[in-house]
Amino acid sequence: MTAPMLEIRNLRTEFATDAGRVTVIDEVSFTLNRGQVLGLVGESGSGKSVTGFSIMGLIDPPGQVSGGQILFKGEDLRTLPEPRMRALRGNRIAMIFQDPAMTLNPVLRIDTQMIETILAHEKVSKTVARDRARDALGMVGIPSPEERLRAYPHQFSGGMRQRVAIAIALLHRPDLIIADEPTTALDVTIQAQILAVVQRLARDHGTGLIWITHDLSVIAGLADRVAVMYAGRIVEHGDVDTVIRTPRHPYTHGLIGSLPSRNPRGQHLKQITGTTPAIAALPQGCAFRPRCARATEACLAAPPVTQTEGRLLRCFHPVTEGEAA
């Protein structure tokens, strides 16, 4: 078997805060193969974006990736000098942000931005670059791309702007795309259009996708594998159908059980009690302990990581298959 395209090993990222240095993600490990889609889910503040930014090398000091390896095609991105990292970014690895304004420059026409992006990484003529830009717009479903190339970002609707940002991410046919909640602010019909585009990309071009979202239903239809984060750690990770059908970590189990579609219409929803802990003041041992109905004395220690049948769990007392059904 060939090495995975991306292998993350024990990634740890810290930030400096008023309360001192805070470890925001820790022991994050996963692999991604060509054409594979990994869904990264979790509540707000659980560390999804920080994971994406860490892989991209976009954590600004005084924050820093302080441990682990980010192996992209066998090479550890943490050891790459910044010029080489910059050459990879936007070329082989691209990120799509929740807010397209992070990608688009408001004062430049779309064609200017797209051509600049291409020329930053490739020696081609302007005409060739322009053709590529137009094709990329067409690919994400923007009607009359030739005309739209001459527009400014503000002349597009929110959904269109996001598609332009995606088109820019696609320009170099990257091997890896990290998408950070790119459809969260969009309507379902527009979301479905964007999902159709990225799905085609993974299938036809072998692009690996990390799709960050808080919406498990999106992951269900899109991803091959899912990693569930809680308080900076991956607590459950496995094949998407298996995890959604039989969640075994008490958090994943509670989360899926609380969805309206898993409860009889009009009845009380099964709910997880309590709220997400502040990352700077995590409870001792398992971070989910204060909200967990299965917690015991044992959970005052850090839970072990177990791996069975391709599923990773970080829990002393996982829900058993029988209970999960």
Partner 1 sequence: MTPRIEITHVSKRFSRKSELVERLAERAGLKAPKPVVHALDDVSLTVGSGEVVGIVGESGCGKSTLGRIVAGILDASAGEIRYKGQTLAEMPDRQAAQARLDVQMIFQDPSSSLNPRHRVDEIVGAAALRHGKTTRAGLADYVAEQMRRAGLDPAMSRRFPHQFSGGQRQRIGIARALAVQPDMLICDESVASLDVSIQAQILNLFMDLRRDLNLTYMFISHDLSVVEHISDRVVVMYLGRIVEEAPVAELFAHPAHPYTRALLQEIPQLDTKRRHYAPIKGEIPSPLAPPSGCHFHPRCPLAMPRCALERPELRQIGPAHRSACHLND
Ligand X SMILES: Nc1ncnc2c1ncn2[C@@H]1O[C@H](COP(=O)(O)OP(=O)(O)O)[C@@H](O)[C@H]1O
User: For binding to ligand X (CB under 6 A), which residues are involved?
Assistant: 15, 17, 24, 42, 44-50, 63, 279
Q: Which is nearer to ligand X, 139 or 282 (CB)?
A: 282
User: Of Mg ion, partner 1, ligand X, none, which one sits near residue 189, judging by CB under 5 to 8 A according to partner kind?
Assistant: partner 1
Taking the C-alpha atoms of residue 244 and residue 222, their distance in angstroms, rounded to an integer, is 13
Q: Phi-psi region for residue 252, left (φ > 0), alpha (ψ -120 to 50) or beta?
A: alpha
Q: Which is nearer to ligand SF4, 132 or 289 (CB)?
A: 289
Judged by CB under 6 A, the chain residues 265 through 304 that form the site for ligand SF4 are 286, 288-289, 292, 294-295, 299, 303
The answer to whether 216 touches 255, Cβ cutoff 8 Å, is yes
Sign of the CA dihedral with 269 first, then 274, 280, and 286 last: negative
Could you identify the residue written with the tokens 């039989």? 246
Choose the stretch contacting partner 1; rule: CB under 8 A; options: 66-74, 171-179, 187-195, 304-312: 187-195
State in angstroms the smallest separation of the CB of 48 from Mg ion. 5
Site map 29..68 versus partner 1, x via CB under 8 A: --------------xx------------------------
Choose the stretch contacting ligand SF4; rule: CB under 6 A; options: 30-38, 199-207, 221-229, 311-319: 311-319
Q: If binding is defined by CB under 8 A, does position 263 make contact with partner 1? A: yes
Could you identify the residue written with the tokens 């809680």? 230
What percent of the residues of the chain are helix, what percent strand, and what percent coil, each to the nearest 5? 40, 25, 40
Q: Which of 49, 54, 162, 191 binds Mg ion (CB under 5 A)?
A: 49
State in angstroms the smallest separation of the CB of 232 from ligand X. 7
Q: If binding is defined by CB under 6 A, does position 317 make contact with ligand SF4? A: yes
Angle at 79 between CA 77 and CA 82, to 5 degrees: 80
Q: Which is nearer to partner 1, 217 or 320 (CB)?
A: 217
Residue closest to 17 by CA, chosen among 63, 65, 53: 63
User: Of ligand SF4, ligand X, Mg ion, none, which one sits near residue 286, judging by CB under 5 to 8 A according to partner kind?
Assistant: ligand SF4
Measured CA to CA in angstroms, residue 278 lies from 225, 251, 252, 270 at distances of 27, 16, 19, 24
Q: What burial class does residue 70 get, using C-beta atoms within 10 Å of its C-beta: 0-12 exposed, 13-18 middle, 19+ buried? A: buried
Beta sheet of 75-76, edge-to-edge order: 20-32, 6-17, 64-72, 75-76
How many residues of this chain interact with ligand SF4, rule: CB under 6 A?
12
Q: What token pair was written down for 54?
A: 């860490």
State in angstroms the smallest separation of the CB of 141 from ligand X. 22
Chain residues that interact with partner 1, rule: CB under 8 A: 43-44, 143, 157, 159-160, 187-193, 195-196, 199, 214-218, 220-222, 224, 240-241, 244, 254-256, 258-263, 265-266, 268-273, 275-276
